Amino acid sequence: MKAMVLNEIAGIESSPLELVELPDPRPGPHEVRLRVRCCAICRTDLHVVEGDLPRHTLPIVPGHQIVGIVDDLGPGCGKSQVGQRIGVAWLRHTCGSCAFCAAGRENLCEVSRFTGYHEHGGYATHAVVPEDFAYEIPEAFGDTDAAPLLCAGIIGYRALKRCQLPPGGKLALYGFGASAHVVLQIALHRGNEVYVVSRGGGHAELARRMGATWVGNDATQMPEKADSAIIFAPAGGLVPVALAALKKGGTCALAGIYMSQIPPMDYERHLFYERDLHSVTANTREDGRELLAEAARIPIRPHTNAYPLADANRALGDLKADRINGTGILVMDG
């Protein structure tokens, strides 16, 4: 198979991903192999490549928003069929028996493993995933529409849960990338107003076109305080900003897997009056199933930008430089 492989941690400007030929993977017990059609890129991939996350498996094929067709089944598979279209997300293994798993909080499992970090991911023409961690893709979505939902969508959906947005409430989004532009569509469909804080001119214009009530680069200029907020940008400096722009009793969710240092905060201004601050850690499979079902009903239509597999370095560079509106998608040829 063709694959973009990371051999050593490095800045994306140095093009550390190398296009190589690898043996086609063989699925193990209860695993399926898929012929990848496309894989959406994600800021988490950038954090893996550049070492913002703790160093793990190397060499590694990144990518965890994968859509493809099952072309081989490992021993013991009982749910999947050859020819079926499936999706693969970040979470790829949990123990299934710890207190977190038993309580429906498998995203906190101590031995969880992740696609494109512990095991090879979707920047390749083939990928393998445990059958129980594959998602059936609704027919409402084409391949490139479905791919961004498998992380940007799922994490945005969990962040929307964690921010406790009340019915008809006002939601503030900080950063307007792949996750935020999915969340905006869900929130608007549910009858909420959405306020977007973004430094990028292109991102801001997209938010306006998609129906945001207010868009600006300074939260202090928002016409009203928000009931809930989600911070998608990996910038800790936004935490006190977002909390100060919340109503009493409001909740702010931090959606990133990585965030820079959070500065000191003033208790009275930022946290008093029962304002809550919630982090978001990965997702459960139920989050994924719920998101795909709701996205199909709406239906969600992600904004996408296609790149060939060999241009993965350029795609991640564009992501880092905020040159992508919506989501970048690596599309396999043939």
Mean pLDDT of 94-114: 97
Tell whether 294 and 269 lie within a shared domain: no
Domain that holds residue 31: 2-149+282-331
Tell whether 184 and 202 lie within a shared domain: yes
The pLDDT value given to residue 266: 95
The pLDDT value given to residue 179: 95
CATH number at residue 121: 3.90.180.10
Q: Tell me: the pLDDT tens digits for 296-310? A: 999 999 999 999 999
From CA 137, how far away is CA 146, in angstroms rounded? Answer: 7
- DSSP per-residue codes, 126-194: EEEEEGGGEEEPPTTS-HHHHGGGGTHHHHHHHHHHHTTPPTT-EEEEES-SHHHHHHHHHHHHTT-EE
Residue 8 has pLDDT above 80, yes or no: yes
Res. 199 pLDDT band, cuts 50 70 90: confident
For the chain, what is the domain count?
Answer: 2
Residue 334 has pLDDT above 70, yes or no: no
Res. 279 pLDDT band, cuts 50 70 90: very high
Tell whether 139 and 211 lie within a shared domain: no
The average confidence (pLDDT) of the chain is: 96
pTM for this prediction: 0.94
Q: Tell me: the pLDDT tens digits for 179-193? A: 999 999 999 999 999
Tell whether 96 and 191 lie within a shared domain: no
Please give the structure tokens belonging to residue 224: 């009203």
Tell whether 314 and 238 lie within a shared domain: no
Tell whether 136 and 60 lie within a shared domain: yes
Res. 236 pLDDT band, cuts 50 70 90: very high
Radius of gyration of the chain (CA): 19
